[in-house]
Amino acid sequence: MIQNRRTEWAGLAALALLGLGVHRWFAAGADALDSDRALVLLMARHFAQGEFSIFFWQQNYMAAVEPLLLTPLALFGLATPVAASVVAIALTAALCALSVSLTRRLGGSPWMTLLLWALPPAVVVHHHVSLYGARLVATCIAVGAFALALRANSRRSWMTAGALAGFAYFSDHLMLAWAAAAIYVMAQRGGLRYFALGALPIVALDTIAAVMTPAFHLAGPNDPGSWLANVPLLFGTAIPQLFGLLLGRAPGPLFETPPSLVPAGVLWLVLVVPAAVVLCALFVTLIGHRRKLARAGVAVADSAAASGDAVRGLLVACAATGALFVFAGGGGDKWSVRYLVPLWPALSVLAALGVAQWRPRVRIAGALVALPALFTLFADRNWPRGSDDSAAARDEAATVQQAVRESGAVAVWTDYWDTYRMALLAGESPRWVTLRIIERRPDWVREANSTGPVAYLLRGADREMLGRLADAASRGLVHTISTRDVGRYRLVVTDRTAPQMVAMNDPPSVPWQRLAALAGGLAFLAALAGGWALARLTSGSRASVGPADSNASPG
């Protein structure tokens, strides 16, 4: 028995070291970042300078928690892409530890959970070393709230779980899915009333702040006509990408021809087929053993709280995330898989529970699920990794910085995916302003529109913007001072900003933005009501909404 225990711990330690090595490999490419990741660091630096914002720049459904986390580093000039990746890896390790702990408590196979964290697909690793996209801080808080809800057995602990769930929701509204899972557990355990008392003040604060500070681009949920298109996007693209069955598409300009999601070659097919079979087998196993899983495992808080609450709670988180994806997370987004990455803790635990139901001799077959992920780690070059990628990105930024400095421009217009990473790597002076998608700093736009000369840093494939700029010059709307090629870019300097160049959608009206912000708070209330109703249905009896006294046992 002791020898088996030592072997188990040695295997887990080896998997943990492997996972750290894989994530360190991707963290080494941190300087080859995109604008979303750069924004977190820019905000942290601005926070350190006294410019504070409750919400992420120009979107009031995500609090600026990640920048706040990096602000102490920014005070000492240490808020760099590599430092942000180190913080992200620490958060990922915490999520992994929570997942393994939950797997042990439920009687699953810890090695399976740790394997999925150690060898996830490249797209997942990328988000695990990024402080934007995977919502790492919010997910840590949300999963912690769920774990506490499973163990809570007093009013104070129930309210604490509610406060954590409310703060996770405040950090990112996508955490509504994990909040729904905790709500379901609390309804089953009899602590929903006190859970709500802990959560609702924070949710109300978030709603009031969002209504009072409408975001420039917040449009609320997708047009209902796009919801049906989100269903095949979820099951046909996002979920296969999440497990490595398809390549992940990196954030980038839409005018560039995106790489195929289906890898070329026979090797990918050879690896995908057994992994897909194992995934299907795990799904069938979970369905076939649902009643056994509801009774098995170690009691979570007391004899009345079986592990079935935890298993059903994880399934609630998965179902709620899928519903949010269809409602608001798809919409034709080319990089929508990031909305599913916060489910990795739930998926890793459920996979471990499924493997544990197999005969001991065949359990090792569960490791086949990592074959496509292993393939993407080497073959999916959409995601930067290693020092070579970082060095190339720094060299490119230095070349652009030198060219812009020589041009004499006081502001630079460029595509969103270049704007903020250049601002981070090449410096915020001159001002960098975006031509597409989202303008995070309207004050920078005002500066660019009121001064000159300005530069346009456009990728060679951006025929639309290059054509617009040439047309403006031919009509005498601007005077072209100079033009030069800078690597993959073309730098065009004009005496002033050209009209009709910005290609962003018109922002919604302020009343609509406020209505969309208010809908977030109402959605949390709906989750409370839905969790209570679902608990009644699954328990077969009336779910209590609160104990009679502080010493009452949950049930």
Range of the domain at 462: 387-494
Q: Are 545 and 192 in contact (CB under 8 A)?
A: yes
Could you tell me if residue 510 is inside a domain? no
pLDDT at 552 over 70: no
Q: 273 and 332, same structural domain?
A: yes
Do 215 and 270 lie in one domain? The reply is: yes
500 within some domain: no
Say yes or no to pLDDT of 294 above 70: no
Residues 379 and 391 in one domain: no
Domain shared by 377 and 394, yes or no = no
Number of domains in the chain: 2
The reply to whether 508 falls in a domain is: no
* Alpha helices in 172-307, H assignment, sequence order: 176-189, 192-212, 227-233, 239-242, 266-288, 290-295
Residue 487 lies in a domain: yes
For residues 59 and 89, membership in a common domain is answered with yes
Residue 551 lies in a domain: no
Q: Does residue 111 form part of some domain?
A: yes
Residue 232 domain flag = yes
Number of C-beta neighbours around residue 244 at 10 A: 29
C-alpha to C-alpha distances, 56 to 69, 165, 295, 331, 497, nearest whole angstrom: 13, 19, 43, 21, 27
Alpha-carbon span 477 to 480, nearest angstrom: 10
The pLDDT of 103-108, averaged and rounded, is 89
Partners of 413 in the β-ladder: 433, 456
CA dihedral over 383, 385, 388, 393, signed as positive or negative: positive
Q: Same domain for 378 and 410? A: no
> Do 322 and 394 reside in the same domain of the chain?
no
Predicted structure pTM score: 0.91
pLDDT digits (tens, 9 = 90+) for 412-440: 999 999 999 999 999 988 999 999 888 88
- Residues 487-498 pLDDT 10s: 999 999 999 999
Q: Quick check: 453 and 411 in contact, CB under 8 A? A: no
Report how far residue 352's alpha carbon sits from residue 115's, in angstroms, rounded to the nearest whole number: 10
Query: Are 275 and 308 part of one and the same domain?
Result: yes
Name the strand (E) or helix (H) holding 454: strand 454-459
Say yes or no: 230 and 374 in one domain: yes
Shared-domain flag, residues 210 and 128: yes
Does some domain include residue 502? Answer: no
**What is the mean predicted confidence (pLDDT) over 269-276?**
93
Question: Please, what sign has the CA dihedral across residues 92, 98, 102, 105?
Answer: positive
326 and 344 inside one domain: yes
Shared-domain flag, residues 364 and 393:
no
pLDDT band at 216 (very low <50, low <70, confident <90, very high): low
For all residues of the chain together, what is the average pLDDT? 87
